Amino acid sequence: MKKVLFVGGDNRSIYAMDELKQRGFFVSSYGLHENDYNSISDFDVIVLPIPTTKDKKTVFCPISNRNILLSEIEEKAENRLIISCGYSFDGKRNVDVLSLDGYAFRNAVPTAEGAIAFAIDNTDFTLWKSKVLVIGNGRVAKVLISRLKNFGCDLTVSARNDKDFSLLETEGIKYIDTSSVNGNSDYDIIFNTIDVSIFRNLDNLGKTLLIDLSSKGCLDFNVAKEKNIRAYKLPGLPGKVAPKTAGKILAETVIQTIKSQRCNN
């Protein structure tokens, strides 16, 4: 059985460790808690946090506040399997979970549910019959769309190619071209899932509640705040609203990645 070391991380890593232990793995940590100083050389698999880094220099360690350099991981990992999130190590046996559809679709569930919960908590009307726009039709958007349909929203999805338009049409979902989104304030709620700066004229948003789930953002939030636009960026929702589920998803991804690497070697 592979020995797995979790480096850094938040509550998701703690739950993932517990899940792997229950599945019979030997698991420990380095930099997840204050006084855990295990050696990378004693383990077969290195699991880095979600996200792996916030500054591209150090490992994300919000619980321990330890200063673990990415260069240390790169140097000491040698030929060990590194499982990361949003950061890649060139020339290493490295799998970025963001490249895995299985992880992305599972992780999209707590993201979508957290975004919907935020919308409910920050409006004085029901999702039922409200006019809702989802920008994008990727992995997070697909899960979000399926959940919103069940609420009975007046739902529209923006996309950018004929394939997406055709699929949305077969599912009976209204659609528009993403290029036409800017300047449209006809919606009660907008969920953005794409890394494109769409909203240049923020005054057109009116009283719309905009929830941004993208990694880079779809507008200038400082300007939005000055203009009293109801725009909110919600990063890392799985770890905040459902760390236990997010941890189990990470654990399952680690297991599947180890199996995949074993088959490929």
Q: What is the pLDDT of residue 18?
A: 97
Record: fold of 3-102+241-264: Rossmann fold (3.40.50)
3-state SS assignment for residue 158: strand
How large a percentage of the chain has pLDDT more than 90? 77
What's the pLDDT score for residue 74?
Answer: 94
Alpha carbons 153 and 180: distance in angstroms, whole number: 21
Q: Where in the chain is the domain with CATH 3.40.50.720?
A: 3-102+241-264, 123-229
Contact between residue 58 and residue 66 where contact means Cβ atoms under 8 Å apart? no
User: Residue 137 and residue 261: Cα distance in Å, rounded?
Assistant: 30
- Outline where DSSP puts E strands in the chain: 3-7, 26-30, 45-47, 81-84, 94-96, 131-135, 154-159, 174-177, 189-192, 209-212, 231-233
pLDDT in tens, 139-167: 999 999 999 999 999 999 999 999 999 99
User: DSSP of 68-88, one letter per residue?
Assistant: -BHHHHHHHHTTSEEEESS--
Q: Is the pLDDT of residue 39 over 70?
A: yes
Closest CA to 156 of 171, 174, 138, 141: 174
CATH class, domain 123-229, is alpha beta
- Residue 263 pLDDT > 60: no
* Cβ pair 168, 159 in contact under 8 A: yes
Q: Give dist(CA 221, CA 232) in Å, integer.
A: 8
pLDDT tier, 265 (very low <50, low <70, confident <90, very high otherwise): low
Question: Tens digit of pLDDT for each residue in 86-98?
Answer: 999 999 999 999 9
| Cα within 13 Å of Cα(4), Cβ side | 26
Identity of the residue numbered 258 = I
pLDDT for 264? 55
Q: How far is CA 38 from CA 2, 5, 6, 172, in A?
A: 16, 8, 10, 54
